Structure 1
Amino acid sequence: MLQSLSVENYALIEKLEIEFKSGLNIITGETGAGKSILLGALGLILGQRADTSALKDNEKNCVIEGIFDIEKMNLKAFFEENDIDFEKQTAVRRIITPSGKSRAYINDIPVNLTTLRDLGLKLIDIHSQHETLHLSNHQFQLNVVDVVAGNSDLLTNYQQKFSSYKKEEQKLQQLIDEQKKNANDFDYYSFQFQQLHDAKLVDGEQQVLEEEERELSNAETIKSELQFCSEAISEAEGSVLTILKNCHQSLKRIKEVFHRSEALLERIDSTTIELKDISQEIQDLNEKIEMNPERLATVKERLDLIYSLQQKHRVTSIFELIELRNSLDKKISQISNSEEQIAAQRQLTDELLLKLREQASLLSEKRKAVSEKIAEYIATQLGELGMPFAKFKIDYLESELTNTGFDKIEFLFSANKQLSFQDVAKVASGGEMSRLMLSIKTLLAKQGDLPTIIFDEIDTGVSGEVADKMGGIIKDVSQDIQIINITHLPQIASKGDYHFFVYKESDDNSTSTQIKMLSKEERITEIAKMLSGQNLTPAAIQNAKALLKS
């Protein structure tokens, strides 16, 4: 339950602290005194967004803190999952700086707004006049039925399976879309691949072919020059070898008288051997070089093919062409196997869908099993709230599978015997909607599904004896859970265990909102004012005492 709320520098509040109790806490005050401001401050520690317009003084931080007794609320798992220290008396704090930055803390551990909001949903249920509109929301209606049916674990498990199913369904659709797209590309890919495959490309062959093409194209010139070199070294009259031979003989003749010629003779011998070797290699090369127009044409044709493929695919090497060929081969293989992939994925998706439908059917059965119980309870409550002929029914329609199953439900309502059932949003008046919502909230509270409940003028549209009955129901529910009830009706205010009064204080510089717990005498006066206005009458005082006594 909410034990205390402290608010500093928020809207009209400069600083205030409230200590709430278990049971029924009543809050009253004049219109505009700031009751809604308290709800706004409370909303901030429950994860609602804020901006600097919430600050009373734009040069100071806005600080809001709530202390909650959570000892019996089974929240240890939540704290463990979010790595937050669990404390029986848990402090939730929110700070908004003048620059607009927001910081949130749970037991002094910094948390993000999502975590704060998730915890807030487990701590407090706020019912405002606006929330009454939720009665016509099919999701809200379904949530009510699921709570009464005890579907929490089953629904969580179903939603996990639904999420998995949607992912697999998406994969299936992607495969189908890819197949459609690839089917258009298949012929193109096949043609490209076949052309590269038929080319029988070998990495490195381009360099070899280009060298061969240069030799074949210049064979006549090459042979001519090689022949010249061969003759110049060894064959022609006056060749290099002939001259060296003559030199060798000359040096040999002076060998006996000129010993230094021996070294020269050795060098001439070495040179002669080397030149003979060169001459032989030239002759061998010359013999191998042939003028072969047919081979030249073949090489040119092969190179033309390689060049055209490189130009077509905008690459510069055979290696890149081979990589492209392998890539095309892989794409063609994937397209060829797409039918098998789609069939396997469709089977997986169908199996998940079958299991999903089984769980959706179980959810639906459990919902329908409690529908009559819900209708009877609400009709009984409405009878106690001055609507003896009111009828309530839950109608089921089957829809496509969603993350809540295939049930689409409608709350149907009839205020009297003559009227047939119709959608609650179309036929219920403001006062009837308030009584319907109170009946639903009390039903949920009895299921143990609600934490502290805050009713913000749930009594809109009712008065007199109905208001008194409504107060009695709220009082009854408060025996099990803490209720904070903002009201403008004395019949309901008198039912409170504790009564807080919101008022404004003004001086020459500013106006601020204050709140205080009323004493017994102050409470009599406040309820009397609610009965008769500011001009208190003895009758109003007596009526106030009677209401409090009853």
Structure 2
Amino acid sequence: MIERFYLKDYLSFQEAELNLQHGLIVFSGPSGSGKSILMESILSSLGLSSCDANICESSVTWDIDEEETGLENDEINVFKHIKKEKSRYFINNQSISKKSINTLTCKYLKHLSLRDFRDFENEGLLSILDHKIGKNALDLKSHYRETFKNYNQVKKELEIIEDEERRIIELKEFAKFEIDKINSISPKVGEDEELLVIKKELSRKEKALEMIEGANEIFNFEHHISLALDTLDVDSAFFDDTMNELRSILESAEERFSALDEVDVEEVLNRIEELGELKRRYGSIEEALEYKEQKLQELEKYENIEVQKGDLEQRYQTLHKEVYSLARSLTELRSKAVKNFEKELNAYLKQLYLRDAKVSLAQDKLTQFGQDILSIELNATELSKVSTGEFNRLRLAVLALKSESMQNIGGVLMLDEIDANLSGEESMSVAKVLKKLTKNFQIFVISHQPQLTSMGDQHFLVYKDGTISKTKELNFDEKIDEIARIISGDTISDEAKKFARELLEGNR
């Protein structure tokens, strides 16, 4: 609910502050006093309208979805609209866009002066009907929704497999082609590096062998060095070790290069080219082998797809049968209850001096709510074509039905002159329905009729002091005077005051 509203500098208002209660809140006053301006500024503070007020601010008890909005709840959340050079909106002094504040507010506030069809959406109407039926329907709907969710999931998985199956031949051929291509080369990890070493050795083989042959000449003079060292009384062991190590190195190199005589140079170059192409395509030999393994797994999956499809088809058939059975059971319960729904709705419409509505239940494709479409026509006319007054009173009737099963309290209804052009009896009937709705809603209404005005839990007079609009919360005696003014005009008669008192006392 809205606990407090503050307005500063807007058209004829310099300042206004309203401390508000739960229940039916009535605004009355002479024409042109500023009632609609006040209502517009309340809506503007909540992002549902725009005005040029310096400040309009509402303190509300609604919880803010902190995760969704990124805002923190206070004990009382303050919604504010400020207009200087441009409009700015705040919640708890944190700046927020008009769209965001509007989205948040719409969860809690309904403005019945707008043609809003959300109260007639199929989900909401079916929810009212199911709550009317009771636990059987609610439990059945819960079971149905879980089954419908599983049914849709399996259906989606089956569609994916069937789509793959249509492309299975192409996919299998591609996988086999990729596997065969890698197998034809049959790469081994590290093979490319080994081949590059062999290529390098081959490129220097001839020159290296020539150099080794020349180097071997040193061994023809080895004994001369040994004799010289002996003559000089120098131990020749170090020289012998060095020559033996040199001999080993040259012999090993000679053997290595000689072994290359059996290597086909062209074959090595071709192999390096093949591996190079593989690396260009896949990145590396390791990645090529990983890709091959992936394609082998895909091929295995394609081979097993018939088994998977068979299992899914069996589950799909079972769930299909179950979900349609549950939907039919829901339809049976709803079909039996729809006449009583229509009867209870028309009871409210009768109070609101509207002709009976026709409520019909038809079947369509499955949704998460079943296969039923609940629709309402007023005077055999589609809702989009009925007058605004009739549309809003029909909304009131639907909300009254809905409120019978509502647990939450805190929503707000805002109505301008819903009893305009109604007779006294019609105005009283509207007031009684609104009074019923105050069980779950705080209701703001502008009224020019004594009947609705007398039912208010709070009554604010909007009046002009010179050119300045002001507001005043009325006590019992002041309510009598204001209702008497509504009845008889500026010249208040004793009969009008008597009737006003009787109305107020009768509604206490």
TM-score between both structures, scaled by the size of structure 2: 0.74
Number of the residue aligned with 1:262: 233
Alignment of 1:31-110 (within 5 A): 31=31, 33-36=33-36, 39=39, 48-49=46-47, 54=51, 56-57=53-54, 62-66=56-60, 91-96=76-81, 100-104=88-92
Number of the residue aligned with 1:419: none
- Among 231, 245, 263, the alignment partner of 2:223 is 245
Q: Is the 8 A contact 1:223 1:289 kept in 2?
A: no
Distance in 2 (alpha carbons) for counterparts of 1:476 and 1:281 = 107
Q: Is the 8 A contact 2:154 2:312 kept in 1?
A: yes
Q: Summarize the Cα distance change of 1:345–1:370 in structure 2 as closer, same or farther, 3 Å threshold.
A: same
Number of the residue aligned with 1:392: 357
| Residue 431 of structure 1: how far off its partner (Å) | 4.9
Q: Summarize the Cα distance change of 1:245–1:465 in structure 2 as closer, same or farther, 3 Å threshold.
A: closer
Q: Is the 8 A contact 1:431 1:462 kept in 2?
A: no
Distance in 1 (alpha carbons) for counterparts of 2:52 and 2:262 = 97
Distance in 2 (alpha carbons) for counterparts of 1:201 and 1:3 = 76
Amino acid in the other structure paired with 1:16: E
Distance in 2 (alpha carbons) for counterparts of 1:377 and 1:470 = 16
- SS, match of residue 233 in structure 2: helix
Number of the residue aligned with 1:128: 112
Number of the residue aligned with 2:132: 148
Distance in 2 (alpha carbons) for counterparts of 1:172 and 1:34 = 63
Number of the residue aligned with 2:16: 15
Q: Summarize the Cα distance change of 1:518–1:202 in structure 2 as closer, same or farther, 3 Å threshold.
A: same
Indicate the structure (1 or 2) with the bigger Cα radius of gyration. 1
| Residue 16 of structure 1: how far off its partner (Å) | 0.8
Distance in 1 (alpha carbons) for counterparts of 2:498 and 2:253 = 137
Number of the residue aligned with 2:293: 326
Number of the residue aligned with 2:426: 466
Number of the residue aligned with 1:405: 370
Does residue 517 in structure 1 map to residue 488 in structure 2?
A: no
Distance in 2 (alpha carbons) for counterparts of 1:406 and 1:25 = 41
Alignment of 1:288-299 (within 5 A): 288-289=258-259, 291-292=261-262, 295-299=264-268
- Among 358, 364, 367, the alignment partner of 2:334 is 367
Q: Is the 8 A contact 2:6 2:16 kept in 1?
A: yes
| Residue 326 of structure 1: how far off its partner (Å) | 3.1
Distance in 2 (alpha carbons) for counterparts of 1:513 and 1:154 = 55
Distance in 1 (alpha carbons) for counterparts of 2:428 and 2:144 = 43
Q: Summarize the Cα distance change of 1:275–1:381 in structure 2 as closer, same or farther, 3 Å threshold.
A: closer
Number of the residue aligned with 1:71: none
Amino acid in the other structure paired with 1:369: K
Q: Summarize the Cα distance change of 1:358–1:14 in structure 2 as closer, same or farther, 3 Å threshold.
A: farther
| Residue 307 of structure 1: how far off its partner (Å) | 2.9
Q: Is the 8 A contact 2:412 2:443 kept in 1?
A: yes
Distance in 2 (alpha carbons) for counterparts of 1:97 and 1:162 = 48
Amino acid in the other structure paired with 1:149: I
| Residue 408 of structure 1: how far off its partner (Å) | 0.7
Distance in 1 (alpha carbons) for counterparts of 2:414 and 2:233 = 127
Distance in 2 (alpha carbons) for counterparts of 1:433 and 1:283 = 105
Percent identity over paired residues? 21
| Residue 202 of structure 1: how far off its partner (Å) | 0.6
Does residue 301 in structure 1 map to residue 270 in structure 2?
A: yes
Distance in 1 (alpha carbons) for counterparts of 2:382 and 2:336 = 21
| Residue 196 of structure 1: how far off its partner (Å) | 0.6
Cα-to-partner distance string for 1:329-375 (whole Å, 9 max, x where unaligned): 34444444455555555655665555544544444344333322222
Amino acid in the other structure paired with 2:473: K
Number of the residue aligned with 1:26: 26
Amino acid in the other structure paired with 1:493: T
Cα-to-partner distance string for 1:285-311 (whole Å, 9 max, x where unaligned): 57x446347x33433332332233334
Q: Summarize the Cα distance change of 1:221–1:156 in structure 2 as closer, same or farther, 3 Å threshold.
A: same
Cα-to-partner distance string for 1:381-432 (whole Å, 9 max, x where unaligned): 4445556xx4433211111122322111221344xxxxxxx34527755554
Distance in 2 (alpha carbons) for counterparts of 1:44 and 1:167 = 44
Cα-to-partner distance string for 1:224-272 (whole Å, 9 max, x where unaligned): 5444444x24xxxxxx43x3323444555xx4xxxxx121644554455
Distance in 2 (alpha carbons) for counterparts of 1:31 and 1:168 = 63
- SS, match of residue 371 in structure 2: strand
Amino acid in the other structure paired with 1:364: T
Q: Summarize the Cα distance change of 1:166–1:530 in structure 2 as closer, same or farther, 3 Å threshold.
A: farther
| Residue 194 of structure 1: how far off its partner (Å) | 0.9
Cα-to-partner distance string for 1:110-138 (whole Å, 9 max, x where unaligned): xx9699659x64xxx64623257567654
- Among 172, 178, 199, the alignment partner of 1:192 is 178
- SS, match of residue 291 in structure 1: helix
| Residue 65 of structure 1: how far off its partner (Å) | 1.6
Q: Is the 8 A contact 1:5 1:67 kept in 2?
A: no
Number of the residue aligned with 2:96: none
Q: Is the 8 A contact 1:135 1:425 kept in 2?
A: no
Distance in 2 (alpha carbons) for counterparts of 1:319 and 1:432 = 76
Q: Summarize the Cα distance change of 1:517–1:222 in structure 2 as closer, same or farther, 3 Å threshold.
A: same
Number of the residue aligned with 1:425: 383
Cα-to-partner distance string for 1:153-207 (whole Å, 9 max, x where unaligned): 7656655665565555555555555666676454334212211122111111123
Q: Is the 8 A contact 1:5 1:65 kept in 2?
A: yes
Distance in 1 (alpha carbons) for counterparts of 2:361 and 2:368 = 17
Amino acid in the other structure paired with 2:29: G
Q: Is the 8 A contact 1:410 1:423 kept in 2?
A: no
Amino acid in the other structure paired with 1:368: S
Cα-to-partner distance string for 1:47-99 (whole Å, 9 max, x where unaligned): x5369x55632xxx65422469xxxxxx9xx99xx9x9999xx7443345678
Number of the residue aligned with 1:489: 449
Distance in 2 (alpha carbons) for counterparts of 1:146 and 1:39 = 35
- SS, match of residue 411 in structure 1: strand
Distance in 1 (alpha carbons) for counterparts of 2:104 and 2:385 = 38
Number of the residue aligned with 1:310: 279
Distance in 1 (alpha carbons) for counterparts of 2:301 and 2:499 = 86
TM-score between both structures, scaled by the size of structure 1: 0.69
Q: Is the 8 A contact 2:26 2:446 kept in 1?
A: yes
| Residue 446 of structure 1: how far off its partner (Å) | 4.0
Q: Is the 8 A contact 1:430 1:460 kept in 2?
A: no
Number of the residue aligned with 1:502: 462
Distance in 1 (alpha carbons) for counterparts of 2:432 and 2:245 = 126
| Residue 441 of structure 1: how far off its partner (Å) | 3.7
Q: Is the 8 A contact 1:3 1:66 kept in 2?
A: yes
Query: Root-mean-square deviation (CA), in Å?
Result: 4.7
